Structure 1
Amino acid sequence: MSVLRLENVSRWYGNVVAVNGVSMDIGPGVTGLLGPNGAGKSTIIHMMGGFLPPSSGTVELDGAPLWQNPEIYRHVGLVPERETAYDFLTGKQFIVAMAKLHKLADPGAAARRAISQVEMEYAQDRTIGNYSKGMKQRIKMASALVHDPPVLLLDEPFNGMDPRQRIQLMDLIRRMAAEGRTILFSSHILEEVERLASHIEVIVAGRHAASGDFRAIRRLMTDRPHIFLVRSTDDRKLAAAIIADGSASSVQLTEKGLQIEATDFQRFTWFLPQVARDAKVRLWEVSPADESLESVFSYLVAR
């Protein structure tokens, strides 16, 4: 049972801070590393894989430092977000080459096993340059599995996959987690994490925003103040009724309609159509004004 540990880790490039004081433990099972694009997820994964040194802090696997420790590579499989395969090789040639780099006793057998795991036998003799994005993702997954590592680091592994490919990879990740492997995968898509990981780590702008059970953090996201834009046949009358109810902390009359900050999300979404009906006000539009991932995650950072 392998455990990855980051202790007060920062990484900067010149004057740019990519990761700032992050601490977390990643144990057996599937952990989702969630955050918007550019949050620092790839930098964290590269440090966990031993391919990038932290500027400060420590990154360890089972107590051993990851940076400048070649022995660690026998225990870690990495699927980077960027393309890393050689387009002129066939899928099979690429995986056999990876098996040889790991000095496996039978590279051919190891390659066949890894290619079978990602269901790429049908395309193993085609050159990688002719693969689709989803196929390239799967052959990268095979390269990470060829030496049967106990730890897998997957950076946006579902990018470019069609629905069938995504389901196949999710099933494979679940099976490997059931075997006791430690699996960390990054995503900026909430639904991907929800389907795979019960435990998540949230990263925003290089900072550790939240950690724990997915359902609890999802509740935090749902229960945060929500801003809505509402247009109706009588905005003033509707505003007065909403203020009287108390489910919103502020109601502003703008040129585009009412801008409402709802502090009790569940009550507000139930109350709004009721009060509109009672006041004989027709609702023309009710739309969230702050539903981007950046706004959701920024709320978690500010807590």
Structure 2
Amino acid sequence: GLLGPNGAGKTTVLRMLMGLLLPSAGELRVYGHPVTPGAPVLSRIGSFVEGPGFLPHLSGARNLKLYWAATGRPAAYARLDEALEIAGLGAAVHRAVRTYSQGMRQRLAIAQAMLGLPDLLVLDEPTNGLDPPQIHAMRDVLRRYARDGRSVLVSSHLLAEVEQSCDHIVVMHRGRVVADGAVADIVAGGGQASFRVDDPERAAQVLGEARSVSGVEVDGQWVYAELNGTPRSEALGWLVRSGISVESVGPRRRLEDAFLQLVGEDTTP
């Protein structure tokens, strides 16, 4: 996942990945190869960065075939049936695009990016304009695509969706990378741990007695604490040895909390 406030440089990075822009300094490499306009490695990248332009009077399938023909590559390399199966368009692919819902148009755009089954799929706001059921369906599409070892890079302003869909994220702010790592690590970093217990007052007392722990709070059956570097597993051991039943343990923060801490609360993704 690629995250950042408006103006952070996300779309610029994506356009450089596709060879549409050249970096003003340094070099961009994908799979070890430099990315420049027309570079061979670009054939390993499929993309959906700006609103797709389909011919509304033609079927989805016909639009995809015309697009692939324009690339100059052999029709057999398109792997059209496989891309359509992953995208889940079903029989709608034979209907005129003008009859498509927004969700179906987005799926067709993703199918277009998937043609040839590239190693890397680059998507800018793939769930833009979709309702919750459509977003859920799009998440399944992207997971199916990545299932066979391919990579999907998604830029999105829907932080909860990125948290559910991605296993690794990069956070940009003012043109620079401010965080890069597994979603779980970024969410957990610097945040409070949460414990759901049967005796929250006793749990708060046990945690509060530890020299490394601060900021202990009780909220119903939940106890929150700043562990300040102490592993959650160690804090869990303290509670269990004190006879406290612990139902769940995890970070208190959501990705949104981590994002706001990294880039400031006066920004929007």
2:235 is matched with none
> TM-score by structure 2 length?
0.67
Deviation at 1:269, TM superposition (A): 6.3
Paired letter, 1:58: E
Amino-acid identity (%):
33
Instruction: Give me the TM-score of the superposition, normalised by structure 1.
Output: 0.61
Aligned to 1:116, which of 85, 109, 112? 85
Aligned twin of 1:238 = none
**Letter aligned with residue 216 of structure 2:** R
- Aligned mate of 1:296, from 246, 261, 265: 261
Q: 2:130 aligns with which of 148, 161, 165?
A: 161
Residue 70 (structure 1) shift: 4.1
The aligned counterpart of 1:42 is: 11
- The one-letter code matched in structure 1 to 2:261 is V
Aligned to 2:249: none
Structure 2 counterparts to residues 1-303 of structure 1, below 5 A: 32-106=1-75, 110-220=79-189, 222=191, 267-268=216-217, 270=219, 295-299=260-264
Distance 1:221 1:114 in 2: 41
1:99 and 1:107 in contact (8 A); partners too: no
Deviations 1:63-109 (A, max 9, x none): 22211234233211001143343434321111111222344443597
State how far apart, in whole Å, the 1-side matches of 2:68 and 2:13 are: 26
What CA deviation, in whole Å up to 9, does each residue of 1:225-264 have, x standing for no partner?
Answer: xxxxxxxxxxxxxxxxxxxxxxxxxxxxxxxxxxxxxxx6
Superposition RMSD in Å? 3.3
* Higher share of residues assigned strand: 1
Aligned residues: 214
How far apart are 1:192 and its partner, in Å?
Answer: 1.2
Asked if structure 2 preserves the Cα contact closer than 8 Å seen for 1:45 and 1:153, the reply is: yes
Q: Which sections of structure 2, spanning at least 5 residues, go unmatched?
A: 193-213, 221-255
Deviation at 1:142, TM superposition (A): 0.5
Q: Which runs of 4+ in 1 moved over 6 A?
A: 291-294
Q: Distance in 2 between matches of 1:139 and 1:74?
A: 20
Q: CA deviation at 1:222?
A: 4.0
Alignment partner of 2:160: what SS? helix
Could you tell me which amino acid in structure 1 is paired with residue 28 of structure 2? V
Residue type of the partner of 2:13? I
Pick closer, same or farther for the CA change 1:293–1:132 going to 2, 3 Å: farther
Letter in 1 for 2:10: K
Please list every run of 5 or more consecutive structure 1 residues that lacks an aligned counterpart in the other structure.
1-31, 224-263, 272-290
1:40 shift after superposition:
1.7
